[in-house]
Structure 1
């Protein structure tokens, strides 16, 4: 069952399953709004009550106009925005954050004026009519970049839901590592059961041998001091499939501490420690890999349609795969241009072009010659 970001038109106070609303009709669970940071259960009950009485909200302006003024606490609404609760209305999160204070102020002023209008039925309150600017504050078409959007989302929800910091860069990250967190944990489980160790997971670890390098995103970062007053840190290193606790002792902390930050994507070189019930990874080195290097020029290949036999395509995959790098590959076939997935990104500096010309012909790099 898929867990969705909070939805102002679907979420209840608690987590509630919806039938047939997830991928492939398997159902989904919108995140419960009372679990959002700075959003209390009482406020959620007022939101849901108005939604049940008047139907779904169509935009942020209608939401502010309909809900109880108590709900229009700026801190609460800001948290709902950053959690993604208003995504269903089509407003970008950053755009809403930039103008929500103005929207709330104008809405409350409009309501106060309306209340005075009702009171004027019982006595003239004076004035020449409305003194309130009734125009809507436009929501800028601006969105947070992925890093900021996910950082806010995790701050409000405690986890990533709409996306993950590693999605889209997992292949590039893997080029900086020699194993995965899942492989490390699998190796730890085999050793704990007395099974045979395998190099892919890290070899012997109780005595500190066999360093391994894994990549992921830092979460649950805690800095603390030893009894001697030296600074150290612990954090969870997460990838798309698994997580492991990492310890950074004072000597290493002095060298890499400045690189530690919540939600940072890092590569950690170290060793497994299996002395406790739960394995942990002892950090010896840490770096932030360059996952979007400048100067990685794309490689364009021109192929004649009659050359696209199964054997030649398999050979092309093999050649590209033997030169992993950061340059994206584009295939020009007839009038079509196809960008290959990041799994086929290449390093064209080490003999790749010669291999491609031998396989596909002399014109495959610069395009066919024209008369």
Structure 2
């Protein structure tokens, strides 16, 4: 477990400029705002990718804030290889937030995101539950927004179905590593879903966590973010019936007091943001040389085996090793050995 967190709220659901054409927040501005609000930790959960993870990690460490690296991922309804537009088309995959607790979790997150892009890409980079079961170690999962499987089950199928979703996710990630998200952005459907989320928690014992789906740093940034969404969707601000996130301009980094005011009856959900932050102890080996391990014949060092292979390759290419080639081999192997 990581260091004890003493402050009173941590944002765990945050989109930066690397949620492309959706998140407006620059990483530096996010970290600076969290520091100004005296927040002890901050999560980064861009859509489907880890583009900003390393810069975010170093910015947070430099600012004295604990970095929590994550992803709001897309989960295929069937499997990542399915390309049926009726079940896996645009807007169909479920959202799920994943946070890395430690370096093992980070490595699993990288593997999951890579597979989602290389194997599961269909409109969005999708992983599936088989992959999640294989790579759940070191990860904490949050149920995500209205596009999460839990929220969709509450809305479309009812509480019993939502409880089944919660139990399945808990079985994938393990006790203490799965939380049900509560959000409040002035959306009527969200308030109805929140009541369902609370009931699922009561029935299953899966804990609640309060989040704010941050897409920009300050409240006054909502208009600029709305223009960005128009660019993404190929619309203008005057287009009727378009996606208008500005209709609910609540997606900024709220203070701890504002979050508490929004959820006066959910103290456990607020405190769980701190508990999750305390569980995180991620240390990335930046600046350290990490070479892959290769088996070498018994009685040989890696350096000796590399020389054997280099000399054999030289003979195969040039027919023999001339003094000039010998000098070049020795020089290059010496550089490699020093590295």
Q: TM-score, normalised by structure 2?
A: 0.23
Instruction: Answer 1 or 2: higher relative contact order, Cα 8 Å, separation at least 6.
Output: 2
Structure number with higher strand proportion? 1
Structure number with higher helix proportion? 2
The structure with the larger Rg is 1
Q: TM-score, normalised by structure 1?
A: 0.21
